[in-house]
């Protein structure tokens, strides 16, 4: 990877700066993940189950995508194949332009370590490591230099800066989840995946986890893909994909929806403030 060693805060290496509210203008590809005709079956003969049936999908960079669907519809299988954790029968999956379905073991392992982050339901931190050591573990495994400034930025954003030398047993449940999310972000992966991250949590902790996934996207331009069966949780995302029988049965753009809902109100505001007009050339579009 890059040998650059800037001392400044933002995420290192491949991601060029994405400003706070997701304002665009970066040169990096707009699509983080591209799947084409991805099929995955289990078993053989009469017992064959088609978990994914010719799925086509583009996941935009810096977007928060939720995947919903009934139990058995293929959500986990989709997440696993997109993350290079499971093989496909046929089809293509590109992660930031790299075809991953044909990668050999070593480059695939490296790609998973460096370009993919995972938040698992159990948020499993290693009990004998401090919060900081847990967060840095993916870098350790990848043999990547620790960017102190990036660690500090993450720890501050997640409100755990004063907990870094604590063991998991000395942290609250909420802090453990924040450490786990920070750990998924520390390598500045192309995509962070979360499989039902709020599945076992009470409603307050659920909100907190969603807040921090949202923050990862809004503050750091992180691409996040989250499986959930809860509509409320999915609605915190920018887009909701719904799976049914291994196919994409629904695709809702919540950002466009929110923008459309916001528009009438904005028009009213402008109508009430006609005196704004003379501010030459500054009119927002």
Ligand X SMILES: Nc1ncnc2c1ncn2[C@@H]1O[C@H](COP(=O)(O)OP(=O)(O)O)[C@@H](O)[C@H]1O
Applying CB under 5 A, which residues contact Mg ion? 75-76
Residue 98 touches ligand X, criterion: CB under 6 A? no
- Between CA 90 and CA 20 the distance in angstroms is 38
**Residue 23 touches ligand X, criterion: CB under 6 A:** no
Torsion angle in degrees (nearest 10) through CA of 95, 223, 158, 75:
-80
* Nearest distance, CB of residue 108 and ligand X, angstroms: 19
For residue 49, state whether it binds ligand X (rule: CB under 6 A).
yes
Sign of the Cα pseudo-torsion (128, 133, 137, 140, in order):
negative
For ligand X, which is the closer residue by CB, 14 or 50? 50
Cβ 43 to ligand X shortest distance, Å: 6
d(CA 126, CA 144): 20
**Vertex 24: Cα angle to 230 and 156 (nearest 5):** 65
Pick the binder of ligand X from 71, 169, 273, 282 (CB under 6 A): 71
Is 75 near ligand X (CB under 6 A)?
A: yes
E strand segments, 90-202: 90-95, 98-99, 116-119, 191-195
Phi/psi of residue 83, nearest 5 degrees: -90, 5
What number of chain residues touch ligand X (CB under 6 A)? Answer: 12
3-state DSSP helix/strand/coil percent for the chain, to nearest 5? 40, 20, 40
Task: Choose the contact partner of 29 out of Mg ion, ligand X, none; CB within 5 to 8 A by kind.
Answer: none
Does position 72 interact with ligand X (CB under 6 A)? The reply is yes
Among 69, 168, 197, 221, binds ligand X (CB under 6 A): 69
Among 38, 51, 171, 225, binds ligand X (CB under 6 A): 51
What does the binding site for ligand X look like in residue numbers (CB under 6 A)? 42-43, 49, 51, 69, 71-77
């Amino acid at each position: 990877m890059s040998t650059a060693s800037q001392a400044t805060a933002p995420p290192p290496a491949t991601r060029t700066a994405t400003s706070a509210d997701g304002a665009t203008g970066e040169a990096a590809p707009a699509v983080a993940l591209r799947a084409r005709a991805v099929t995955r079956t289990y078993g053989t003969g009469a017992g064959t189950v088609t978990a994914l049936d010719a799925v086509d999908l583009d996941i935009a960079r810096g977007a928060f995508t939720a995947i919903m669907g009934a139990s058995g519809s293929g959500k986990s299988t989709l997440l696993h194949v997109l993350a290079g954790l499971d093989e496909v029968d046929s089809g293509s999956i590109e992660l930031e332009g790299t075809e991953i379905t044909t990668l050999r073991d070593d480059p695939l392992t490296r790609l998973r370590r460096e370009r993919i982050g995972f938040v698992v339901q159990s948020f499993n931190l290693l009990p004998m490591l401090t919060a900081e050591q847990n967060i840095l573990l993916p870098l350790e495994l990848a043999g990547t230099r620790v960017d102190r400034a990036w660690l500090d930025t993450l720890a501050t954003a997640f409100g755990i800066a004063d907990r870094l030398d604590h063991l998991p047993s000395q942290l609250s449940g909420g802090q453990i989840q924040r450490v786990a999310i920070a750990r998924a972000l520390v390598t500045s992966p192309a995509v962070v995946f979360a499989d039902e991250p709020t599945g076992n949590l009470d409603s307050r902790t659920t909100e907190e986890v969603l807040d921090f996934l949202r923050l990862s996207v809004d503050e750091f331009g992180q691409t996040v893909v989250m499986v959930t069966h809860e509509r409320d949780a999915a609605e915190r995302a920018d887009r909701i994909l719904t799976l049914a029988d291994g196919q994409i049965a629904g695709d809702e753009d919540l950002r466009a929806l929110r923008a459309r809902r916001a528009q009438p109100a904005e028009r009213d505001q402008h109508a009430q403030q006609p005196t704004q007009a003379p501010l030459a050339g500054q009119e927002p579009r």
